[in-house]
Structure 1
C-alpha cells in the first residue's frame, strides 16, 4: 500500500478514547475502507483509523469531528515534528505549512538549532527513514548545509543512520523540520516562513488580573487595566506596582507578548540575580554548566530548579545569559524574550538569568551530614568509568537467590525525580531480574545513538544489577539525551506513558526488531506493545490475562505470526479515569499455542492434529472459558451436527507440510510465555511488581518515590519490598477473589489485582543468561 492509497488526518481535539492519542497525532484510513464506511453510513460519525504519530499499529474508531483532513505531503511535513502539541501548532500555522510545501533545494535559510539561528542552504528535502507496512508515510525533513561562520555547528555530514542523503563537511549539516526554518531573504519569489511567534498566554487577560511583565530587561508586576488592539497589535494597559525608580507606579502600555498572567516571585525584579564577586568562580561555572545542565537559582525566599535550554547574549546586554526551563510555573514566557524566540517550553516555565547566577542542582549533589538518610554518593568510581575501562561490560540480572541481599530495602531500585516514575518502573521491570531484552544493550547502533545505549547499560542497568541502586541523576541524563534527540521537549519534566518511552528507545533509538508480529487478513503488522481491546459483547467479569488476550485476538481477527521473545500487554483501561475491570487475575503462564498462525495444533477434544477452527464456538458456554476452539475433521463434524451450531462458520487451519496426512502426538509441546513483571498505575503514579523466582511467594514490589527526604531541596527515596502476600490471592478461586474488598487486601496485593496497566511476559528459552 502506498501513501496515495490512503486519506490522512490530524487529530485536532483529544478523544476520550484511547488515552494514548493526543491532539496532533497523525492517522490514516485506506481509501477503500473510507468508501466502504461512506457506503455503510452516508455520514459516519466515527472512522477506523491507524495512527502513524503514536506508538501503536492498531486501529481505533475516532470521531470524525475530532479530525481534519491532510494531504499526504502536509502529513509528511508535520510528521517530522516530534511532539504532538508542536505538530498541532504547525498545522494551525497555515501560512508556514503552505510556504514549506514550496521550499526547494538551493534556498538559503536560517535554521533554529539549540536556540541559535544558523545560516545555511537546503541541500536535501525528503525522508530520513523509509515507510513500512505499518507506517505508509514518514516525516519530510530538510537537510541544511551550514555556511560561513556557522560551519561546524551542525551534527552530521549529510548522512543519517549511515545512509548518505547529501554531502557536506563533518558537523556542517543539520536535518530539521519545516518549523525550524525560514528563508534567509524574503522576496516575492521566495516563500516566507515566519519566525515562531511568541506563544500568547493561554488564559485570557482581563481587567483586574495580576500580571508579570518585562520592561527594559526588568521583571515587574502590576494589574491589568485594559487590553487594547491597534493596527493588529495587542497591548495591555497595566497599573504598575512600582515605576523604574522603585516608587509607586502609574500606568503603562506593554505589548501583550511581554505579559504573563500571575506573578513570579517578587525577587528578583530583573534577570540580574547577582552573585557576590568574591563567591563567583568563573572557571567553575563555564566548565560545569552548559545547555541541558540541571541548575538552581534563588528566587525570592527559596530556590527554584530547572534545566538550561539556551546560553548566549541577549539584545542590549553584554553578560552571558542562560535561558532556563523551570520545573514549576514560576517563569514569565514559553522561551521568548522581547518577541524573539530562543527555545521552546510550556508557558510560564521560561526565565532568563545571568549564567553566573546559576549553580548546579544541589539535589543531585552529596547531601549534608545532618540528613538522617543520606543519598548514596556513588564513591565506587568504577561504576562511573566502567564504560571507558572495559570493566563489567555485562552484568547478569539479579537471581532469585540474590534478591534479598541486593534489592530489598530503602534506597534500592531506581531513584525517582520529577515525573520519572513511568521510566523508573519500566526500566526496573525490564532489567532488574530479566535478560529477555538485553540484546538491545549490546546490539550495534549508530554513532549518534551510542551515548544513549551507553547510559542505559553502564549507568543504569549494570549498577542496578550489581549494586541494587541507581541515582536519579542517571535517569535524568537518559531523559536529557532522549530530549536532545528531539523526541519530546518535555521528556525531562513531564509524565509519559511507559509504552511511549519503550517504543522510542527500542524502535527509534536502538532500532530493535519489533517484538510483536501480528497476522491479520494475510498481512503482518509489527509493534512493540499490544493494547488489549474487547468488543462490547464480551461476557468477562473477573478475567485472567489469558482470557483478555484471547478475547482481544478473537474480536480483532488476529493471530501471532511468530512466537515473541517478549510480549508487552497493555490492559483494557484508559489512564487513571476508567478501568474496564475492577480486578484482573494475573496469568503466571500465557499459553499462546492456539494464537499462532503457523505450526501444528491439537484438536481440543481428542488431541489429534487440528484441521479446523470455529470462531463462533469461541464463546459457546459448552466449552472452556479459555483457548481458541480448534478441531480435527471428525470432531468438528460431530460438534457442528448440533442444531444450534450448524450455522457456525468454520475455517481451515494452516498445517505445516510435514504434518499433512499424519496424526499428531498427544505430547505436543505447548508454546508458553512466563510472567516476569507488571506495571501498575494508581492516580498518576507508576509502580511495578516483579515475579523474580519459581516459588509462588517470589514477588517484590518497587516504588521509585516511596518516601522523601527534605522538602523542595530534598530527594526521593526509592524502595523495594518483598510481597509474598500476592501468592495467597493467586491461589484463590475466582469466586473468592471476586469477594475480596480491595482496601482490605493485605499488603500491596490490591495494587497488583486492581491497578494493572501493563503485563510483561518472556519466553523462557530466549533469555540470555539461562
Structure 2
C-alpha cells in the first residue's frame, strides 16, 4: 500500500512529516477496539525507510492512534489517507461516526479548508439554524506534546435570531480569539456549521456591516428616486450592500410593469423619498398610475384578475433581472409600512433572496436565510410549471412547458444541517402524481442522504438504457440534492420509460410495490450487480436485490427489532451471506397491504451481520474464542440472549450441551479460515464485527407509501417524507410534497420493549407511529463496501 491511495492525497516528499489516515471500519487490536472514524499517523521517514528495506507489509501498517497515542498494527485496506489541512478539521469532530461521514462526503472538508474569516455561515444548534460570521479559524488549545496535530475550530459570531444563544464573547479558557457581544460567540467543529454559499448555489455576496463612522443614508424598504437612461424614476430599496469601497442599492422600480426587474444603483445616484424635490413627484394619483399600467399591459383586467387569484402558498415566479427568473411560494400577503401597493413575502427555491422573513425589524414569515424576498404582488406571476393544471392533472403529454430544469452537475447526498436546510418544508422532496408514491418514497430514501447506490447514476449504460439513467441522474437525483425539490413530471418521464422497458404496461398509471420498481430498474434496465449473494445449505448461490423476511409466528417475539427478524429468517431458511453487501434492503414480514405479522417493529439503527456471513471467522458467544460449531436449537432457547446466533468453541459447546435440556441438540460444524485455526483468544485481537447502518425506512399504512430517512448520526436525526401530504385545488389541482423533521422518533427508540408494546399507536407523538407500526422496507448500508463497489 502506498500513501497515494486517494487521488489528491499528497505524496511524502522530504520524509520529515507525518502521513495521516482515517479508519473506514472498526478494528480490534489486542484488548482494544478502534472504531471507524478513528485517526492515526506514521512518520514519513519510517515508512520510506521500510519501503527502501523491503520490510513494509502490503496488508498491515504500524501506526500511532491520534486519540490515545497508542501504537497498533492496522489492516491497510481500512486506512484512507488524509492530508494535514483536512486532518485538523476532522480531528475537531468528537463523534467518530460523524467524522467518517464528513470524510466520505468530502464537500464539507473541501469548503472548510478554503474558508476565510468574515465568511457567512449557518450554525446548527439543537436542530435550529442560525446565521453567523466566521471570526476565527484555528486551534483553541495547546497541542499535547505527544500529539503532532491540534484540532482546528471555527470561531463564529451569531447574528439575528441567534444572538444570545452562544457561550462566549470570543474568549475560550481565558484566551481571547476574537471579539463579539457576550453570549454571541461559539467555537464549533466543521460538522456543526454550513457554509454560504452552499454547494451548487450561486455565490452569495457578503454584506459587510458599515463602519462605525460611516452613515448609510438609505436602508431596505425606503422609497427612493434615481436616474435611469436619463429618465427620473422612483422605486423601493430592496437591499443595501457594499462592494469594495462603494455602496449599492438594489432597487425595484415602480414603472417596470407587471414583472420586477431589479436594478443595482450606486448609492450616490439615489435620493431618499423625504428628500425628493416636489418637481419630481408623480403628477398623477396612485390610482391613476395603476390605471396607466393596466392600459400598458394590454390586458389589464386579466392581469388584475390573475393577481387576485394568488394567495398564501401559491407557487409563483419573479424576475430578478432580465432572463433571471426565480420561483418560490408566497408565505405572506399584506401591506408594509410606507409602501402603498399590496406586497407578497415569498420564500424562494434558491438562495437568491435578501431576508429570512423580516422587514425593517418586524418578522412577517419564517424561511431560511437568503431565501426570503418582499415584492409587489403585482410582480408575482403564477409558476409556469403549474399553469396547465386546468387542462390535465400534471399530465406530461399535455403540459410540455412543465419540464423540470435538468441539473447536469453532480451533487453529493445531503447530510446534517444541509439536509434540514435544503429538504425541510412544503413543496420539498419529490412531488407525487397518479399513484407514484411507491416510486417517490423509494427514490427519496435511496438518494437524498446517502450515496450507497450512486453506481446506478454513473455505471456505463448501453444507449437504449442511457436515457433512463440520465432522467434518474439529471432530472431527479441532482435536482433533489441541489434544490430539494423534484417535479412530478420528471418522475412521470421515468415511469413512462419503465413502461416501455418492462413487461408491465401500467407503470405510468397504476400503483406498484417498491421492490417491483427496484428490481426492474436495477436488474432489467441498468443491470447493476445484485446487492445480495446468498447461499442455503451448500447449494448454488442465489442473487437478489431485496430480501424478504419469512418466519413462523414466534411467541417470544411480541415487539421484535430488525436484528431479531433477520436472524430468525436466516436461521429458518438456513441462509448465509456470501459477502458483505454494500446495501441491504429488507422487506418486513407483512403480506399485501393489510396483513402484518407484528403490530410494531423496532428499528435497529445498526445491523450486525458478522454471524450471518458464510465462511467468515466467528466468535464463541460465551468466551470469545474462535467458534467451531453453531446450534440453531440453542438460538431459540430462552435461556440465552434474544439476539445473536449461538455459536461455540469446542469446550463451550461441550459444556452448554451437557445440560439435560440441550443434550438432544445437533450442532453443525463451522468453516474456520486457516489463519484463525490456531488462534488463541488469550493473546490475539478479537474478531471484528461487521455492522451495517440504517439509512431509510419505507412505510405503508393502507395503500400509500411514505418514508423516513436518517440524515445524521444522532438518534433524533430523522426526516419524514410524504410526496402527497397536501393538495392544491380539486381534481384539476396538484399534490404538495412535504418533508418534516421527526425527532420524536428518538423517544420511542429509547423505551424498554415492554413499555413500547404498551404504547397505543394513536397516542404516539408526531409521525412516530408510522415508523414503528407501518414499516414495510428497511434499508441498510455499509460505507466501507460502498467505497469498493
TM-score (norm 2): 0.49
Q: TM-score, normalised by structure 1?
A: 0.50
- Asked which structure has the greater CA Rg, the reply is 2
